[in-house]
Structure 1
């Protein structure tokens, strides 16, 4: 048993969608979440910049005593996780678009992927598509501007809705029957996506699968937490910690939110 916290980092509040799944599946675990909102979006940065930020975030979480780190950012995963696994002693859980289940479930043979430029241009994304979706058509769409709007607290605004409508139009015209969300920020847009998508189009994100994998790796390495009366969940942001409070409304337990000059 190991009562140290699970570390989670993302380029802002997007990874809160992952955190919620982890908390649901692993109710005995403490967590420590780092929102690097000051540097969002990672998808617009170079591979070198993304790697440097991922290393910085990882070392901060390790200094806080985290036993496992979830890279709750598709772009950071695709650009940095191999390096992190090779250079640090704790297990890492990465995020990648859930192309495989979409490809397996598609009846039309056409799947849409909404993601950042950093994810869509990565080697990992293309190898995943080649290995699991070579028999179907993948329609890629960069969600330019969406992360910025979410980080500004405008996830459900009219401006965001207009962008979503613009990005979905070519995929809908092509006849997709699955929409893969390739950025952990994008589950915050699901209410708007459901308004724009016809019935029968399934939205897929990776949160539940990530939580299951986190449990498996903790169990494999003997790192699961012992039972305790209450868990502690610490959240740090280097830009807008009020936005964290908004996305964590209604969450019970010992929730601590703080600004970090990082």
Structure 2
């Protein structure tokens, strides 16, 4: 098998990175993919940097053992805490994900933007350096989305508890006159419909999904790894916890889901 025919590997602390996978599979419809959902260890955002690094190494080696030609770290927390080590250690390209602070800083008119992210992302060195690169006149309001990932992982997006948490996290930002909201976790795009009912249409909701897909395609092209044959793609998902929520998210896609302890 030519290396171009090897799959794109993705991993996340659960099912949230499927928001990135959907963008990638839509942009590159002939690419095979492998997706690793480390749901039993979610959320990564509450873990130490050492734990996040250890889990990221485990996930990377799982995908490499299945011939991944490139690895998308489809998790903001894992990117901000582990991607530098992964790039230095393994001989494949890595695509990372970081909160889209810069685009939000460019579009804001009120000079106030909000970011909803995990504790692990907001406390990372990479987030600090990224947020330091925007216009110093722009105020960034940070909010840890504690509890949101757990509810998404358990299929409780439409629960009363989710509504309560989102109101608690978003209302203070609205009172400070934000006009852009950055979603700093790949789980959070699944909350956009609910977020819109709270923030309305005047606030731009910004996530990294399409930008990550485009960057993945660019790096594949630069490294002569892009699949050029018009093949029917194979999409294999692995999850180490109950797969029912993942099945629901993928019900409109041709994908195989396997529960596997890893």
Structure 1 match to 2:150: 148
Specify which of 122, 125, 128 is matched with residue 127 of structure 2: 125
Give CA-to-partner distance per residue, 1:23-45, whole Å, 9 cap, x none: 11111100000000000000000
Structure 1 match to 2:36: 34
The equivalences for 1:159-170 within 5 A come to 159-170=161-172
Cα distance in 2, alignment partners of residues 144 and 128 from structure 1: 22
TM-superposed deviation, 1:4: 0.1
Structure 2 match to 1:258: 258
Structure 1 match to 2:234: 232
Cα distance in 1, alignment partners of residues 97 and 154 from structure 2: 23
The equivalences for 1:79-228 within 5 A come to 79-228=81-230
Query: Contact 1:9 / 1:73 at 8 angstroms: preserved in 2?
Result: yes
Query: Contact 1:112 / 1:138 at 8 angstroms: preserved in 2?
Result: yes
State the superposition RMSD in angstroms: 0.9
Query: Contact 1:99 / 1:133 at 8 angstroms: preserved in 2?
Result: no
Cα distance in 1, alignment partners of residues 215 and 235 from structure 2: 20
> Secondary structure, in 3 states, of the residue corresponding to 1:2?
helix
Cα distance in 2, alignment partners of residues 7 and 249 from structure 1: 20
Q: How many residues align?
A: 260
TM-superposed deviation, 1:226: 2.7
TM-superposed deviation, 1:21: 0.3
TM-score scaled to structure 1, two decimals?
A: 0.98
> Secondary structure, in 3 states, of the residue corresponding to 1:149?
helix
Gaps of 5+ in 2: none
Cα distance in 2, alignment partners of residues 152 and 106 from structure 1: 34
Cα distance in 2, alignment partners of residues 199 and 66 from structure 1: 40
TM-superposed deviation, 1:135: 2.6
Query: Contact 1:72 / 1:95 at 8 angstroms: preserved in 2?
Result: yes
Cα distance in 2, alignment partners of residues 31 and 220 from structure 1: 19
Give CA-to-partner distance per residue, 1:133-160, whole Å, 9 cap, x none: 4230000000000000001110121110
TM-score scaled to structure 2, two decimals?
A: 0.98
Cα distance in 2, alignment partners of residues 36 and 135 from structure 1: 39
Runs of 4+ in 1 over 3 A off after TM superposition: none
The equivalences for 1:45-84 within 5 A come to 45-84=47-86
TM-superposed deviation, 1:228: 3.2
